[in-house]
Amino acid sequence: MSEEEKRIQSPYDEFKKQFVKNKLAILGMLFIIVLFIVAFVFWAFSLWNLHFPYNPSATSLAAKLAPPSLVHPFGTDQLGRDVLTRMLHGARVSLLVGFVAVGISVFLGILVGSLAGFFGGWVESLLMRFVDVVISFPSFFLILTVVALLKPSFWNVMIVIGLTGWTGTARFVRAEFLSLKERDFIQAAHALGAKSGRIIFFHMLPNALAPVLISATLGIAGAILTEAGLSFLGFGVQPPEPTWGNILAEGRLYIFDAWWLTVFPGFAILFTVLAFNLFGEGLRDALDPRLKT
């Protein structure tokens, strides 16, 4: 490729070129895509009351704690339920919790960070001191306390994780806005009489979304881990709704007799979180011009 062709490459072409070089990021992206397909297919099955390979709630005491076999590839639990089926249905819960929680946190983080970075002064001081107060609390124990005070449920878990995970995004957005508002194109917009709302949403925010996207990708992994931890402790999504966390919680009582109840859901959480982290790191490397050679 000539020097002239390199200069006229679009930002998308440059991003794609950098991202494709990262094989681990592509592997993580492919794993996430497969997980999405699995979650969507089994969600559709549940809507049509179809059960494959088994009904996730069907019990069979005659088959309880059966080890992995051709009939039950991941074995069965203490009630004879197929572990593989329950994990496939649990993928939907983990992904939904991750994306909804991160959606809430990204919205709040963008709102607080953009206002603080754009207006500065007492607005920035007030908002960022509030951010410091929220950060000072251990996040998991804060989530655990709030969920314990409320009724543990699917929606409560998502909302609480989202309401406690926005501070990092707020700091990223504020830092980007502080840098952007001194740029020539922002000064030109001010000189032309553009209103603050237009400058924030049409000029500054689109240029500040790269670190937000990276933070959101990594935040999904954190939200999945948090949901699994809450479900493991009994404060998350409640049985009989299958999640990877409550499958682990049920399996801890049989850890020496039925290892498959902890190993398989544990690896599912490990690989999912690792895939999101690898994908997020790949996005960071491709989007951050300081890391390009």
More confident residue, 150 or 176: 176
- Flag the least confident range among 12-16, 265-269, 273-277, 281-285: 12-16
Distances (CA, A) of 43 to 36, 154, 267: 10, 15, 22
Domain-embedded: residue 15: no
Residue 204 has pLDDT above 80, yes or no: yes
Residue 1 has pLDDT above 80, yes or no: no
Half-sphere exposure of 70 (CA within 13 A, CB side): 0
Per-residue model confidence (pLDDT) at position 277: 92
Domain-embedded: residue 8: no
Domain-embedded: residue 264: yes
Q: What is the mean pLDDT of residues 255-274?
A: 92
pLDDT winner (highest mean) among 61-75, 198-212, 230-244: 61-75
Contact 157, 232 (CB under 8 A): no
Distances (CA, A) of 193 to 148, 182, 189, 199: 50, 16, 7, 10
Contact 85, 72 (CB under 8 A): no
pLDDT class of 293 with cuts at 50, 70, 90? very low
Residue 235 has pLDDT above 70, yes or no: yes
Domain-embedded: residue 2: no
Q: What is the mean pLDDT of residues 67-91?
A: 91
Per-residue model confidence (pLDDT) at position 9: 61
Q: What is the CATH number for 186?
A: 1.10.3720.10
- Flag the least confident range among 62-71, 114-123, 195-204, 225-234: 195-204
Of 279, 280, 223, residue with least CA distance to 101: 223
Domains of the chain: total: 1
Helix (H, G, I), strand (E, B) or coil at 126: helix
Per-residue model confidence (pLDDT) at position 121: 86
Residues of the chain with pLDDT > 70: what percent?
94
Domain-embedded: residue 13: no
Domain-embedded: residue 62: no
Q: What is the mean pLDDT of residues 85-105?
A: 90
Q: Mean pLDDT, the chain, as a whole number?
A: 85
- Kindly report the pTM of this predicted structure: 0.85
Per-residue model confidence (pLDDT) at position 24: 92
Domain-embedded: residue 59: no
**Domain coverage including residue 37:** 21-53+71-291
Domain-embedded: residue 36: yes
* Cα–Cα distance measured from residue 272 to residue 43, given in angstroms and rounded to the nearest whole number: 18
More confident residue, 152 or 133: 133
Residue 136 has pLDDT above 90, yes or no: no
Residue 226 has pLDDT above 60, yes or no: yes
Residue 275 has pLDDT above 90, yes or no: yes
